Amino acid sequence: MTDHRLLGRTGVKVSPLALGTMMFGARGNTDHDDSVRIIHRALDSGINFVDTADVYSAGESETIVGKALAGGRRDGVVLATKFHGSLGSDPNEQGNSRRWIIREVENSLRRLGTDWIDLYQVHRPEPETDFDETLGALSDLVHQGKIRYIGTSTFEPSAIVEGQWIAERRGRERVVTEQPPYSLLARGIEREVLPIAQQYGLGVLSWSPLAGGWLSGRYRKGADQPTSSRIDRQAERFDIADPENAAKLDAAEALAQLAEEAGLTLVQLALAFVLEHPAVTSAIIGPRTFEQLESQLGADRVRLSADVLDRIDKIVPPGTNLSARDAGYVPPALSDPRLRRRPRV
């Protein structure tokens, strides 16, 4: 593991690779003991940053992380989790309201088996909820010692700036991190999100650096399409008949050939690329198996030459998402036609 990086301006130091745990539990690896061993291997390799969320396998992932950090490992780990997604039939068991945040943080603390969460993140924006309400509740949790820092995930540039404005004008605790999607195939955040993060001194924790598996090396032109539970759940994101997916396959093939010429695996190229951006603090890896973890460890020690980076830019131009779905969030102004049309009278 290379030198630790500062998490924004917090003074906290974290590893360049963060362990994401979305694939531990019913959604991926259902063997708790095996999942714990994978987490321990990551920690023993030098990773000190673990990221999870309450909705990963309906809280099961947090429970597994809690098991892995028991027995004296908790103090050495910067632990992050998230809230927002639905966790029940009750319409209030979700979202960014004070009511839900105050309740759900207790559930996460219990599942994680800890007295505090280092980084508590708003998993997605919720325009219908006043952001000041959300930051007010989170600020109270900071003052109570239940969380240390506040983060956001997949927020649009305007919402990131709004959070900074609210903190300054209304005396709230400041958002100190943003967790956006970022990969060789999804570079849209290079336009505004990453520059804004640098402007405000935010730590950036990139999710899906392997583009949902497209950059695992398993997707090659002329080869049989791999099978996985992810493909079963999100078939539309891997259907080669879709023009956006076809473009991703072309780019993945070109990038794989570039990696081979550079003496790297495609996984190493993909992770090293994300970590090359000066705004990025950590890339979140999300292994389901030991083999997947081992293929990603050590990528933080790889530095890409200017020539390789220039060739990447020709394959996928800076600021480009090859698929609109990879942005991770569609604002209501685009997803709801009623917001773009005057009411009929």
List the catalytic residues.
Answer: 56
* Residue that has been written with the tokens 């099961």 in this structure: 60
**Which pair of structure tokens corresponds to residue 156?**
């649009």
Beta bridge partners of 117: 147
Q: Coil, strand, or helix at residue 285?
A: strand
* Residue that has been written with the tokens 């131009």 in this structure: 317
Other beta carbons less than 10 A from residue 51's beta carbon: 27
Other beta carbons less than 10 A from residue 221's beta carbon: 12
Q: Phi and psi for 105 in degrees, rounded to 5? A: -60, -35
The full DSSP string for 198-265 is HHHT-EEEEB-TTGGGTTSS---TTSPPP--HHHHHTGGGT-TTSHHHHHHHHHHHHHHHHHHHTT--
With 0-12 / 13-18 / 19 or more C-beta atoms within 10 angstroms meaning exposed / middle / buried, residue 45 is middle
- Collect all residues with Cβ–Cβ distance below 8 Å to 232 and sequence separation of at least 6: none
- Whether 47 and 19 have beta carbons less than 8 Å apart is answered as yes
- Collect all residues with Cβ–Cβ distance below 8 Å to 342 and sequence separation of at least 6: none
What distance in Å separates the CA atoms of residue 227 and residue 8, rounded to the nearest whole number? Answer: 38
What distance in Å separates the CA atoms of residue 78 and residue 5, rounded to the nearest whole number? Answer: 12
Looking at residue 186, the DSSP 8-state letter turns out to be: B
